[in-house]
Copies of this chain bind each other. A is one copy, B any other.
Amino acid sequence: MLNICLIGSGGVGTIASLVLEKSGRARVTAVLRSNYEIVAQKGFEIDSIDHGKLPSWRPSRIVSSIAEAVQYGPYDFVVVTMKALPDVYSLPILIEPVVTKGVTGIVLIQNGLNIEIPLAEAFPENVTMSGVSMIGSRMTGNVVYHEDPDDSFMGPYIHSGLSREDQTEKARLFVEVYNAGGAAKCVLTDDITRARWRKLLWNGTFNTLCTLTRLDVGALQRGGGTESFLRPAMKEMLKIAKGAGYDFPAELVDEMIEGTPPTSPFKPSMLVDLEKGNPLELEVILGAPLRVARTLNLETPILGMVYEALKIVQWGILQQKN
């Protein structure tokens, strides 16, 4: 049995803990924050496209802090499903107490680019892997509504502290267990960064532009945003990816735009965060690729300006939070 600590039991994290428990090969200690009390009392009420209806479900153990989780270690894996907010908290410092040197694999199921670097640097004797998830799952209180299948790519973020084989093997094990738990699809990849760039093409554009204009993906396009912003912004992102060594066909832009019809009322995650007054995943979704662009001396007038505008919006959100 794998001993797993899962941090951040929102819509994505709760389904991940369910899948891991259902595999019969893992026990999950879930660290809950704002919803600890209600879940302790009532469990999670889950309505899942992959797993059906579960009126009151709990992982093996729930705790209300990372400090409390320490006593149930050592952990084979720490799974992080929190929002990726490097401008708000330091993930290496946060999870350090539950990471056992040379043992614990770190699994980041989070948005963005280069999110693995600080972990690989802080824990050079541990495997860091990450997942790009296409899941659609949201939580209110203790209620999880999971409407789009738990489809993901996962892979190791190879670093020089361990052999490539050991890193790949650890990631393979996690993916094997995750698939055994009935995920819709979890694909092991040896190039997770490529999958991250591909997702950024959507997230760095649709997600950020909907947030800036506070419109859903359909309205953004019906309002004229496709040609003034979306398409040129996607081309900038494609250019940065190419500069970073990840070449995608130009047609992917059309494909992504066509795949998000102007009739869709979908609100992307960053807009949902904004409407809730929560911090935006701006640094990992847009800041990180723009830092890559800067080192490559690439011009990104549109993405650059969207970033600067949202940085001010983010500042406003953080002021309200403090």
Contact = CB atoms under 8 A, between A and B. Distances in A.
A305 B228 CA distance: 8
A15 to B, nearest CB: 32
Given A302-B305, A305-B302, A319-B219, A214 B311 contact: no
A309 B209 CA distance: 9
A313 to B, nearest CB: 5
A224 interface: yes
A315 interface: yes
A225 B316 CA distance: 11
Nearest to A222: B315
Contacts of A316: 213-215, 219, 223
A1 interface: no
Interface in A38-56: none
**Most chain B CB inside 10 Å of its own CB: which residue of A224, A311, A315:** A315
Contact of A308 (B222, B229, B308, B319): B229
A309 B213 contact: yes
A304 to B, nearest CB: 9
Contacts of A311: 223-224, 228
A316 B219 CA distance: 7
Nearest to A312: B223
Given A214-B313, A313-B213, A228 B319 contact: no
A108 interface: no
B214 A315 contact: no
A184 interface: no
A224 B305 contact: no
Contacts of A222: 315
Interface string A280-316: 0000000000000000000001100100110111011
Given A215-B316, A302-B305, A309-B309, 8 more contacts: A213-B312, A214-B313, A215-B312, A223-B313, A223-B315, A223-B319, A228-B312, A305-B305
Q: Which 4 A-B pairs have the closest CB atoms?
A: A223-B315, A223-B312, A228-B308, A213-B312
29 contacts: A212-B212, A212-B309, A213-B309, A213-B312, A213-B313, A213-B316, A214-B313, A214-B316, A215-B313, A215-B316, A219-B319, A220-B312, A222-B315, A223-B312, A223-B313, A223-B315, A223-B316, A224-B312, A224-B315, A228-B308, A228-B311, A229-B308, A229-B309, A229-B312, A301-B301, A301-B305, A302-B305, A305-B305, A309-B309
